[in-house]
Amino acid sequence: MSILDSAFVTGAGGFIGRHLVRALLEDDISVVALMMPGEPIPSEWGERVRVVTGDVRELRGLGSEIGKVDVIFHLAAVVSDWGAQQTHVDITVGGTRQAIDLALDWDAHFVVTTSVCAYASALAKGALDEDSPVGRPTSPYEFAKQEQERVTLEAVQKRSLRATIVRPGNVFGVGSGPWVNLMVDMLHQEQACLLGRGDWDAGLVNVKNLVALLIAAARSNWSNGDIFVAADGFGITWKTYLGNLAEVAGAPGPTSVPNWLARGLAPVLEWMGRLRRQQERPVVTRQSYRLMGGPNEFSSMKAKRLLGYRPVVTFDEAMAELAEHFDSAPVRSLRPA
């Protein structure tokens, strides 16, 4: 088992980062957090977290300020399926290279969070695990996630980096931008957010379960470029999830757009968006269609078998936490029998 007394977290102020820092503090692990200039520091951290402010693309220059740690949790990335590919490469991939250099300087265990979007065009076709081949990327996010994994594995093979790659599914929980906050806004505005019937696996992972897996990976000796998928595996469909989310948020139930229409519109809207050089992402992209328009049955059996990972919250517990967050009364489960 690897030593985990101290950790450096990039992207610490983001959705996953805040949950990870909280869990590390609960385990009495010393935490150094990278924050962007002007990014608000969570009040709950108090004096327990040492904050370093800077750009993930210039991490090597912050090495002495950060100080040697046992583990680097690398979360910082551009989180969008839109924008210039070079921006994704500079920040997501360039930041990964910088974090790898620090890990090598310190002989630290490098735990990088990529995404199931690394599967790219292989998504929405059923069961996927760590041995499943990845497909062709169509978004800058998918491309950058594949590149993150490539440069990590290259450093393992050529530079003896100790590294573990974690691919989370669709991460939900309090503070989730795309899968909670955005969906709740769309539900309240009665905008269609369900593709077709939505009666296929949503490929969800609760953020607390993801954090538990990240920490289990950091404590393990599976550091030879091993890849682990993080997913809840509860068989929750998009229809079930969005129906539950609507109820706990006090919003109308989800409305649907025909699946064939979303699939056909995605490439057209992307083409028009690029032609117009629009800054805002299209309503549906090929990546978002693949995440919601077909079955994504992600297996976390490898993590359970090799890391001893076990989910720490159930789907019902996760929805109860969201109900409390939205200050609504506890609701019955809408899960199918």
Q: Taking the model in full, what pTM does it have?
A: 0.94
- Averaged pLDDT of the chain: 94
Q: What is the dihedral of CA 285, 174, 99, 222, to 10 degrees?
A: -100
Domain boundaries, the chain: 6-172+205-233+297-312
Asked whether the beta carbons of 269 and 284 are under 8 A apart, the reply is yes
Please say if the pLDDT value at position 44 is more than 50.
Answer: yes
Please say if the pLDDT value at position 330 is more than 70.
Answer: no
How many CB atoms are located within 10 Å of the residue 207 CB? Answer: 25
CATH topology of domain 6-172+205-233+297-312: Rossmann fold (3.40.50)
* Cα–Cα distance measured from residue 100 to residue 87, given in angstroms and rounded to the nearest whole number: 19
Between these two residues, 333 and 236, which has the higher pLDDT value? 236
Please say if the pLDDT value at position 334 is more than 60.
Answer: no
Asked whether the beta carbons of 11 and 79 are under 8 A apart, the reply is no
* Cα–Cα distance measured from residue 104 to residue 3, given in angstroms and rounded to the nearest whole number: 16
